[in-house]
């Protein structure tokens, strides 16, 4: 009878631990994934913006390539006037990731998940064109 009681206590203990640990693991996994998404989006926008600013300072005819990694769930992207913008859903709310450039930017950023080689070029008009290479 003592063996049966010990086994039952062991099963109850394991059950209680699972009830506590499984939701905790899901919570940690979700928030870690969202923080990685935030870091990737911020890095992409900052990389494009800083490269655009550097090229703007050099003037027409200059070109550079950068690699960006975009996560899934991008709602929209916009490259116009002096702003590079990516809108996505983070932590259940719509969030904007943007960079205000020194020069006028035109072009587009992909909405798809993946790693992309982006070409930035200063046109004769002084605008910085951003395009997937």
In the chain, where the domains are located: 2-132
CA angle 108, 118, 79 (to 5 degrees): 25
Asked whether the predicted pLDDT for residue 67 surpasses 80, the reply is yes
User: Strands 63-70 and 114-122: what pairing?
Assistant: antiparallel
Asked whether the predicted pLDDT for residue 33 surpasses 70, the reply is yes
DSSP β-bridge partners for residue 67:
117
pLDDT tens, position by position, 70-104: 999 999 999 999 999 999 999 989 999 999 999 99
Q: Please provide the average confidence, as pLDDT, over all residues in the chain.
A: 94
Residue with tokens 């940690």: 28
As given in the structure block, the two tokens for residue 128 are 């910085």
pTM confidence score:
0.85
Asked whether the predicted pLDDT for residue 1 surpasses 60, the reply is no
What is the rounded CA–CA span in Å between residue 126 and residue 61? Answer: 9
Query: Residue 44 — φ and ψ, nearest 5°?
Result: -60, -45
The answer to whether the beta carbons of residues 37 and 91 sit under 8 Å apart is no
Percent share of the chain, pLDDT over 90: 81
Q: What is the mean pLDDT of residues 8-12?
A: 88
């Amino acid at each position: 009878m003592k063996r049966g009681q010990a086994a039952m206590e062991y099963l109850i203990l394991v059950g209680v631990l699972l009830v506590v640990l499984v939701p905790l693991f899901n919570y940690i996994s979700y928030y870690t994934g969202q923080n990685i998404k935030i870091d990737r989006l911020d890095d992409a926008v900052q990389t494009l913006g800083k490269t655009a600013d550097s090229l703007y300072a050099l003037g027409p005819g200059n070109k550079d390539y950068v690699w960006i990694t975009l996560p899934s769930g991008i709602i929209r992207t916009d490259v116009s006037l002096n702003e590079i913008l990516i809108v996505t859903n983070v932590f259940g709310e719509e969030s904007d990731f943007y960079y205000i450039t020194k020069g006028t930017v035109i072009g587009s950023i992909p909405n798809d998940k993946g790693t992309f080689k982006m070409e930035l070029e200063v046109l004769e008009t002084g605008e910085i064109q951003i395009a997937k290479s």
